[in-house]
Every structure is written in structure tokens, then in C-alpha cells.
């Protein structure tokens, strides 16, 4: 019994049909890419300002503007820093756990949801990351200072210079924390001696 429903000459050319369909898909993909490129070109400014030697402040302002436009505020900074200092798997797991609720949302909105759900933990992690970064720089400065010869540290001309702004700030902070009266006018060397006698910088006293 012949189960074919087409005569031999009437059977559709399946391979040719599949080939035509794939060709149409390729053409559609090409048109979509061209459309996307045109949209990007239209969205870009005609003249884009390029900073030849951007400063750290320029980077902060530029990146900060992007974050603000995405809906983040200064209050989110510590939590966002905590998220960035977390293992990549933490972000992956958080996104996977909320995959259904993120339908139709932007990546920025998904990140905002993660910050909101884990605010206290991420803020604490962000504060610690900032402390650790400052401590590393402070430890490097201390090590560099101790490499100087003793005569320079005790008798160098730098001691007769005006106290630096950083020294003045640290003196005030140390007095506030230890509830000490502010010392009188100090030169740079005297300020260094006073701070060392008080154990400053107190933020790192027990870690060096």
C-alpha cells in the first residue's frame, strides 16, 4: 500500500524550503543589526568631548552621573561598594534567585532590588572594604616612612615646616575620640611626635 500523499512530482522540496527559511532569518538578523547600529549612531552626540588627562575626580563625577541617572543615590554608595567587593558568585546567585521578578526590568533595577534586600549586610561589607583599602595605603605610607634614616626623621628640615592639613585633621579627630584638649600651635615635626604619642592613627592602631 502506498502511504504517500503526494505524487512523486508534487512532493514539496523540503531542503529547499529549509534553506529559504534560514536565508530569511539571516536577512532579518542583518536588518536588525543595521537598525541597532543606526539607533546607536543617532543617540550619540555629534561632538563627543574627550578628556585628555582625566583626573580621579573626573572619573568619580562621570561614573556617579551614570549611577544617578540609573536611579541610585549617595545613600546607596556603601551597599554598592559591598556588592562590588563580594564574590562574583554572590551576584550570580542573587540574580538567579530573583530571575522571575526581574522580567521586564533593567539591569540597574535588578541591582537596586539586590541592594534593597541585602542593605545592612552589603553596607557593612562596603564599609569594611573602604577601611581595608585605606589601611593598606596607610600601612604602605608607614613602611615608606620607616625606611627613612633616623637622622632625617628626628632632625630633618621638614620638622620646622607648617603642620600639614592631614596632620591637622588627624589631631582634631584624635582629640575628639580620646576627649583630649587641642594642643597649641604645632609645627610639622611636633605634630608628628604628638600623633605618635597618642597612638594615631587610631583607626589602625591595633593592626600595625
| Mean pLDDT per 10-residue interval, the chain, length 208 residues | 48 60 76 78 62 84 93 95 95 87 89 94 96 93 89 91 94 94 93 92 84
Pick the closest to residue 79 from 69, 92, 91 (CA basis).
Answer: 91
- Res 3: pLDDT: 46
Cis peptide before 196 (omega within 30 of 0): no
The predicted structure's pLDDT at residue 207: 82
**Amino acid 9: pLDDT:** 52
Q: Between the CA of residue 6 and those of 9, 13, 54, 56, 80, what are the distances in Å?
A: 8, 12, 73, 74, 66
pLDDT of residue 98: 83
DSSP 148: S
* pLDDT value of residue 5: 45
The predicted structure's pLDDT at residue 121: 95
- Confidence at residue 34, expressed as pLDDT on a 0 to 100 scale: 80
| Under 8 Å between Cβ of 106 and 64 | no
Q: What is the pLDDT of residue 13?
A: 55
Give backbone dihedrals phi and psi of 149, rounded to 5 degrees, phi first.
Answer: -70, 155
pTM of the model: 0.64
Q: What's the pLDDT at 43?
A: 65
Amino acid at each position: 500500500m502506498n502511504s504517500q500523499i503526494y505524487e512523486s512530482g508534487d512532493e514539496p522540496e523540503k531542503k529547499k524550503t529549509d534553506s529559504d527559511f534560514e536565508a530569511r532569518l539571516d536577512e532579518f538578523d542583518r536588518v536588525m543589526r543595521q537598525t541597532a547600529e543606526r539607533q546607536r549612531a543617532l543617540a550619540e552626540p555629534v561632538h563627543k568631548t574627550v578628556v585628555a588627562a582625566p583626573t580621579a575626580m573626573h572619573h568619580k563625577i562621570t561614573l556617579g552621573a551614570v549611577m544617578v541617572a540609573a536611579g541610585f543615590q549617595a545613600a546607596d554608595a556603601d551597599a554598592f561598594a559591598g556588592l562590588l567587593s563580594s564574590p562574583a558568585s554572590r551576584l550570580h546567585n542573587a540574580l538567579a534567585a530573583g530571575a522571575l521578578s526581574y522580567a521586564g526590568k533593567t539591569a540597574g533595577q535588578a541591582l537596586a532590588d539586590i541592594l534593597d534586600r541585602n542593605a545592612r549586610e552589603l553596607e557593612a561589607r562596603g564599609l569594611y572594604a573602604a577601611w581595608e583599602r585605606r589601611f593598606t595605603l596607610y600601612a604602605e605610607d608607614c613602611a615608606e616612612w620607616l625606611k627613612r634614616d633616623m637622622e632625617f626623621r628626628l632632625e630633618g628640615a621638614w620638622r620646622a615646616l607648617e603642620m600639614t592639613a592631614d596632620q591637622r585633621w588627624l589631631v582634631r579627630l584624635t582629640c575628639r575620640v580620646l576627649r583630649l584638649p587641642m594642643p597649641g600651635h604645632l609645627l610639622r615635626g611636633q605634630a608628628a611626635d604628638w600623633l605618635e604619642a597618642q597612638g594615631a592613627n587610631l583607626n589602625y592602631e591595633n593592626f600595625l
